[in-house]
Amino acid sequence: MRHEIAPRSGAGFELKAGETLTVYDPRGEQVADLLAYNLADPAEVISSGRTLDYASRIYLTTGDPLYSNRSKVMLEILDDTVGRHDFLLTPCSKDTFRIIYGDTDPHRGCFGNLAAALAPWGIHPDAIPTAFNCFMNVAVDGATGAISVDPPRSRAGDRIAFVAKMDLIIGLTACSALQSNNGSFKPIEYEITL
């Protein structure tokens, strides 16, 4: 069964070892931030730094493992119809919108949505790291290191699927940042299968 995450919102749920989580972009050009915590010990959390270090690449796709802060594999990418995702930038937040967009009354962003979605498992906002940003298209200038947030390459119906390698708590959003989503806010869908 597919679940919908409404525009600019988030969801939290458990994903057991061996289950597959498929994240769909039903309309295209919409980012979904993904976080994972060890269900048995939520101090173990997905780690961008360790994953990119071990992959020796910043763009991940089918076959790539996503590691925790304890260097254990939490998830592995099983299937990917887009091939461009980001694992460099933190979830958008009130401060993102204040600092980058100049908003005076900013939305709580993916950060606030993730904090609310993960609160039932006792996860504190300070324990939210860099998320795996499904469909987010961050281009890097190899010479200067300059980054730009470009429109996602995902089209309507595109997906990325992950298999869980341990029992997990997952946080997932429909991203709230205009720039990441080519100027409009759209839903995200997800499905859990065995």
Question: Which residues contact Zn ion by CB under 5 A?
Answer: 92, 110, 175-177
Quick check: helix, strand or coil at residue 103?
A: coil
Q: What is the DSSP letter of 52?
A: H
Torsion sign, CA atoms 41, 172, 149, 100: negative
Q: Which is nearer to Zn ion, 9 or 20 (CB)?
A: 9
* DSSP 8-state secondary structure symbol assigned to residue 175: -
Nearer to Zn ion, 110 or 115 (CB): 110
Cβ closest to Zn ion, residue 65 vs residue 187: 187
Query: Which SS3 state, helix, strand or coil, does residue 159 take?
Result: strand
Residue 141 CA, distance from chain mean position: 22
Shortest distance, position 82 Cβ to Zn ion, whole Å: 17
- Minimum separation from the CB atom of position 100 to Zn ion (A): 12
Output the smallest distance, CB 33 to Zn ion, in A: 5
Helix/strand/coil for 105: coil
Number of residues written out for the chain: 194
Q: Cβ closer to Zn ion: 34 or 110?
A: 110
CB of 137 to Zn ion, least distance (A): 13
Q: Which amino acid is located at 157 in the chain?
A: G
